[in-house]
């Protein structure tokens, strides 16, 4: 069957289901997409090229090895001008033929592929090999037109083959599944090349090769690439769970055993399913469609719970594997459109759209009741992709409005003077200094196509298939000569009955006899998201034989409580990072009964910690709004459990900052005349947070900011603080109090030192920036945001209990061998770390549970020095030279 038939669905159903968007408005939005692309692309070329990616906050290129490692995410960087290659075919689609020709010449003259560097096979395939092939496709199309690229002699294709040969050594395994990493210069040779030692890979990593490798084989006539990609797909198919017909997330590349047996359509598996269907579309091989249909039937039976898509166990597919979804599954409605299953596509897309409207962007992960699970958003394009495909299938102008929402949010919240910055936390609006290459490769393609008319496009997109990186491969490749010796693992069952599968495309007009049908599907989903609320903590049966001291009543600075702990064999140890550790040793208890009480106390601490993890307050934002910042510096801050609840304030608290004297805020404020009517800056330590708040409130302050005294601490690497009270009523405290780590606090203090009068806004999340993005000059205005990382904390297997600043809520029980230590019974502040909402956690645990997908980031908490109680402001700023560059640049480029 001709593969083109499968794309006919995109041409159907072009009728109005509501009030059509005026043509002049579509044209305005289309031009806005082009302007936004120019802003991102030109800043990459001006400030980053030939580096792989742009760092839009500091206006420089990200060069691997020169910047601090971000873990696996850096495996996409190979010192091959990644963003430029990834953007080649986008330039042509947006009618930037001159820029494309210049970009091709730059790639040919500047890019080297023989670097001694280890890269991800998956990322290099979809971004670099795909980018070179997409660029070659565009160059050939333009050359055939007779006006452009007449000099082109397949140079990009030669580079693509060179890269393909450099990736091939990764496939030298007994299973045919590729190693996840390869050295571009030396291949896979073992530890000496930092490759060949891995045993596991994700399903998508091994199953997202066929489009690029098959295209390379058919462009060059060399069948070796397509053969290796088919062998990998065949092996994955053979290893599927035969009862559920699902695949796991991670597989052993040698034995074929599933390492992670959870199955879904998001991170780790997503593009495996996408490439089965698109391989059929591109290559015309019925085998791929048949396999996809079998998988798809199981997905709809077990994983799809409209509008949700929830992971399940492959051996017990009726059991959910988790209660949250990741943002990568947002591609799936678009894939369902290609399949022709429009109804569930509409439902899932609507759920994603409502979550987007709640948080401005789609959080990296969110729970089944639509709360934030992982708060990052690296400007992923999958939601825009599905929006485009649904509009093409339905013609419903509702999806044009969804596209407008994406554009507006990118401009309002992600746009910075040097490009577009990823969101570190969608709740506060804080930024991360990254602009991934896929933002230019995918986002602007789909948004431009969404608002474009046929006459706006330089070619017919229906003649191409989009790869998972949105690179364009011509459907004519299905007719290209290829070797008949490509091995096939067709089994007898695959040769038999195919009567259950549709081999033709549905007519969308028959799917939607009522023009209001899509709208009727969306309404109940919109209501479900709007009315969602946090689930209550599960009820726990009261225990029997409670110990003399309840965990919820414990105060680390209460001498009576410390004595009770001693009698139960529980030792309290002050750690140098400001936290407190509880360790229980039963043999040190005064009696067997006391030892049992100690065990119960520690168990109760764990339960209390787990329960209170679900009651965490979200982070807050401190936004510098005065000249020359104008709201473009947003610092993520920890909240307090007392004082003004900023989440209930529509305007927040705005005022100028001043340093309180004494800086600790632990005695009566001596500069009350300066503090009055201002937001007071305080240093952490020496007394309770509530006591500080009372002193500045008495002095007439309208708010307070507590800055960590542990030099070097940063919300990038440490759990955010949530400040607790002092064990008594805090109803008398009526002003807001927020907490900043040392690095974020230093930014604020340095701004005060440089500009003397600094005005900030304390709020639940960043407000609209005070500068119209269209009026920002071309200068490199640096946004010095240092937001926190919100990753789930895994259940610690350690029996030690750690508290932040002596707070019981931090504890997880311990029964380790440990010697008792002399406790410091001086008053200490109470606080607890603020972790991700709705993620299972032990507060205070040191073991982060990394997110396992292609963009996973692993961070470690640094050692921190607590010997800084008496430091002056100048001393606090002494080691912060690298961040001063941001402000110096900002001063040069004043608006």
Nearest to 614 by CA among 370, 376, 836: 836
CA angle 171, 176, 180 (to 5 degrees): 50
Distance separating alpha carbons of residues 273 and 267, to the nearest angstrom: 12
d(CA 635, CA 758): 14
Instruction: Indicate which residues carry an active-site annotation.
Output: 123, 270, 364, 382
Q: How many CB atoms are closer than 10 A to CB 308?
A: 18
What is the chain's Cα-based Rg? 29
Alpha helices, H only, 410-476: 437-438, 444-451
Question: What is the tally of helices (H) and strands (E) in the chain?
Answer: 27, 32
Classify residue 619 by its DSSP letter.
P
How far apart (Å, rounded) are the C-alpha atoms in residues 134 and 132?
5
* Integer Cα distance of 337 and 395 in angstroms: 13
Q: Are 665 and 680 in contact (CB under 8 A)?
A: yes
Q: Is the distance from CB of 815 to CB of 599 less than 8 angstroms? A: yes
Max CA pair span of the chain: 94
Instruction: Find the helix packing angle between 97-110 and 130-145, rounded to 10°.
Output: 130
Q: Which residues make Cβ contacts (< 8 Å) with residue 179, sequence separation at least 6?
A: 121, 170, 173, 188, 195, 196, 198, 201, 253
Whether 864 and 576 have beta carbons less than 8 Å apart is answered as: yes
* Cβ(280)–Cβ(274) below 8 Å: no
Beta strands in 242-375 (DSSP E): 250-252, 258-260, 262-263, 304-305, 308-309, 312-313, 324-326, 365-367, 372-374
CB 817 within 8 A of CB 587: no
Please name the residues in contact with 529: beta carbons below 8 A apart, sequence gap of 6 or more. Answer: 351, 354, 355, 358, 370
β-bridge partners, 374: 365
Q: Say what the alpha-carbon torsion angle 473, 479, 480, 481 is, to the nearest 10 degrees.
A: 150
Read off the DSSP letter of residue 574: E
Q: How far is CA 689 from CA 668, 682, 722, 724, in A?
A: 14, 10, 10, 7
Q: Residue 755 and residue 629: Cα distance in Å, rounded? A: 11
Closest CA to 517 of 340, 347, 306: 347
């Amino acid at each position: 069957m001709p593969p083109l038939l499968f794309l006919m669905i995109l041409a159907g159903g072009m009728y109005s289901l509501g009030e059509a968007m005026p043509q002049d408005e579509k044209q305005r939005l289309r031009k806005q997409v082009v302007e936004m692309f120019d802003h991102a692309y030109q800043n990459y070329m001006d400030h980053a090229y030939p580096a792989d990616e742009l760092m839009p906050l500091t206006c420089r290129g990200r060069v691997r090895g020169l910047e601090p490692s971000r873990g696996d995410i850096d495996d996409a960087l190979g010192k091959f001008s990644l963003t430029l290659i990834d953007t080649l075919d986008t330039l042509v689609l947006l009618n930037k033929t001159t820029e494309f020709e210049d970009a091709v010449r730059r790639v040919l003259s500047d890019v080297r592929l023989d670097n001694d560097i280890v890269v991800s096979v998956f990322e290099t395939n979809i971004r670099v090999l795909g980018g070179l092939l997409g660029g070659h496709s565009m160059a050939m199309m333009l050359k055939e037109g007779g006006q452009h690229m007449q000099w082109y002699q397949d140079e990009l294709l030669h580079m693509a083959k060179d890269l393909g040969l450099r990736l091939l050594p990764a496939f030298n395994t007994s299973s045919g599944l590729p190693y996840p990493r390869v050295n571009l210069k030396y291949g896979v040779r073992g530890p000496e090349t930092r490759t060949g030692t891995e045993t596991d890979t994700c399903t998508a990593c091994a199953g997202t090769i066929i489009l690029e490798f098959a295209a390379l084989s058919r462009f060059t006539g060399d069948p070796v690439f397509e053969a290796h990609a088919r062998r990998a797909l065949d092996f994955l198919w053979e290893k599927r769970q035969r009862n559920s017909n699902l695949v796991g997330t991670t597989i052993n590349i040698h034995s074929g055993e599933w390492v992670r047996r959870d199955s879904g359509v998001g991170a780790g598996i997503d593009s495996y399913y996408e490439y089965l269907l698109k391989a059929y579309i591109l290559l015309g091989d019925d085998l791929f469609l048949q396999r996809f249909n079998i998988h798809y039937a199981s997905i709809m039976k077990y994983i799809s719970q409209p509008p949700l898509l929830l992971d399940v166990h492959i051996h017990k597919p009726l059991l959910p594997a988790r209660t949250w979804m990741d943002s990568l599954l947002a591609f799936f409605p678009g894939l369902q459109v290609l399949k022709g299953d429009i109804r569930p596509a509409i439902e899932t897309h609507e759920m994603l759209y409502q979550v987007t409207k709640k948080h401005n962007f789609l959080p990296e992960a969110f729970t089944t009741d639509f709360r934030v699970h992982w708060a990052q958003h690296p400007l992923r394009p999958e939601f825009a992709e599905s929006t485009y495909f649904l509009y093409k299938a339905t013609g419903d102008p509702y999806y044009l409005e969804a596209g407008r929402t994406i554009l507006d949010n990118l401009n309002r919240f992600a746009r910075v003077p040097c490009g577009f910055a990823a969101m570190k936390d969608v709740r506060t609006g804080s930024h991360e200094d990254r602009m991934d290459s896929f933002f230019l490769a995918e986002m602007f393609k789909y948004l431009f196509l969404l608002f474009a008319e046929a006459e706006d496009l330089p070619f017919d997109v229906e003649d191409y298939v989009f790869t998972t990186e949105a690179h364009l491969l011509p459907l004519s490749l299905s007719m290209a000569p290829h070797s008949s010796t490509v091995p096939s693992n067709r089994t007898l069952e695959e040769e038999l009955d195919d009567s259950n599968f549709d081999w033709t495309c549905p007519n969308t007009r028959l799917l939607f006899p009522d023009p209001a049908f899509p709208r009727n599907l969306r309404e109940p989903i919109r209501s479900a998201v709007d009315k969602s609320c946090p689930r209550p903590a599960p009820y726990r049966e009261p225990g029997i034989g409670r110990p003399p001291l309840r965990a919820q009543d414990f105060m680390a600075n209460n001498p009576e409580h410390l004595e009770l702990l001693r009698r139960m064999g529980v030792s309290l140890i002050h750690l140098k990072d400001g936290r407190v550790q509880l360790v229980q040793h039963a043999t040190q208890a005064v009696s067997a009964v006391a030892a049992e009480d100690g065990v119960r106390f520690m168990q109760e601490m764990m339960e209390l910690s787990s329960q209170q993890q679900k009651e965490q307050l979200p982070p807050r934002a401190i936004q510098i709004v005065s000249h020359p910042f104008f709201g473009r510096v947003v610092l993520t801050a920890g909240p307090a459990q007392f004082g003004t609840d900023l989440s209930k304030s529509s305007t927040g608290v705005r005022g100028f900052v001043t340093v309180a004297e004494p800086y600790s805020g632990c005695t009566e404020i001596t500069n009350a005349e300066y503090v009055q009517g201002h937001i007071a800056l305080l240093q952490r330590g020496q007394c309770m947070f509530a006591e500080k708040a009372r002193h500045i409130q008495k002095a007439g302050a309208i708010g307070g900011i507590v800055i960590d005294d542990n030099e070097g601490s940063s919300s990038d690497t440490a759990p955010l603080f949530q400040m607790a009270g002092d064990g008594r009523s805090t109803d008398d405290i009526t002003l807001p109090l927020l907490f900043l780590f040392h690095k974020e606090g230093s930014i604020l203090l340095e701004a005060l030192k440089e500009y003397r009068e600094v005005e900030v806004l304390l709020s639940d999340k960043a407000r609209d920036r005070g500068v119209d993005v269209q009026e920002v000059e071309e200068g490199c205005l640096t946004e010095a945001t240092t937001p926190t990382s919100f990753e789930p904390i895994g259940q610690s297997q350690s029996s030690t209990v750690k508290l932040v600043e002596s707070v019981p809520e931090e504890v997880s029980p311990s029964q380790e061998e440990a010697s008792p230590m002399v406790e410091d019974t001086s008053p200490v502040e109470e606080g607890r770390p603020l972790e991700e909402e709705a993620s299972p956690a032990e507060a205070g645990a040191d073991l982060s549970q990394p997110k396992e997908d292609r963009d996973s980031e692993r961070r470690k908490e640094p050692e921190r020095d607590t010997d800084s109680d008496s430091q002056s402001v100048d001393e606090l700023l002494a080691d912060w030279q690298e961040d001063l560059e941001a402000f110096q640049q900002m001063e040069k480029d004043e608006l």
